[in-house]
Amino acid sequence: MRHMPDAMPAAAQAPSCDPAEYRKALSCFATGVTVVTSHWQGSDWGMTCNSFSSVSLDPRLVLWSIRKAASSLEAFTRSGGFTVNVLSSEQEALAKQFATGDMAARFAGVPTTRQDSQRQRLNAAVAWFDCELHQLVDAGDHHIVIGQVQSFGWQDDASALTFWRSRFGQFEALPA
């Protein structure tokens, strides 16, 4: 068994109780950027989300999380399903559009396709996953929303939008 030194390396940061410092530490993990959509009580709902992740291949399950204080919480947790749209590196403005403003303005000028589920799919997304709600997990100030993928698609020639240290970017492969 390897002995771990008692002292922290100089480059490491000591744990902090400050929420802003905690967010900075979390931002060191690069994520993709998605817009999650739903259709509930005759209205379209959409929000920018970077907590998307795969859960299982069989059955096909994915997850994302939503704040319990979100104004759209009911629409996403009671509608029976959602569509995750993985944004392309050309869609930074769209990520910002779906993060602010009223719900109708979020969809303004956005080319979409209404799916059989009635949820909107963003046409220029790199990939999309149309899901039925599988499970809702209580997790602190958020709910973890797990969906069973009913249909999906992707574009081979598009690069995904990423988010790292509060900045948008795109993936660049390291030299082989």
Which CATH class for the 33-166 domain?
Answer: mainly beta
- 15 burial via Cβ count (<10 Å: 0-12, 13-18, 19+): exposed
157 confidence band (pLDDT: 50, 70, 90): confident
Q: Which two tokens stand for residue 72?
A: 């759209």
Q: What is the pLDDT of residue 141?
A: 96
Rounded Cα distance, 5 and 84, in Å: 44
Looking at every residue in the chain, the average pLDDT score rounds to: 91
Per-residue pLDDT of 53-104, as tens digits, reads 999 999 999 999 999 999 999 999 999 999 999 999 999 999 999 999 888 8
DSSP 71: T
Residue 84, classified by CB atoms within 10 Å of its CB into exposed (0-12), middle (13-18) or buried (19+), is: buried
**pLDDT tens figures, 106-146:** 999 999 999 999 999 999 999 999 999 999 999 999 999 99
Q: Are 46 and 76 in contact (CB under 8 A)?
A: no
Rounded to an integer, the average pLDDT of 29-45 is 96
CB atoms within 10 A of CB 46: 28
Give the pLDDT confidence of 16-32 residue by residue, as tens digits. 678 899 889 989 989 99
Domain map of the chain by residue range? 33-166
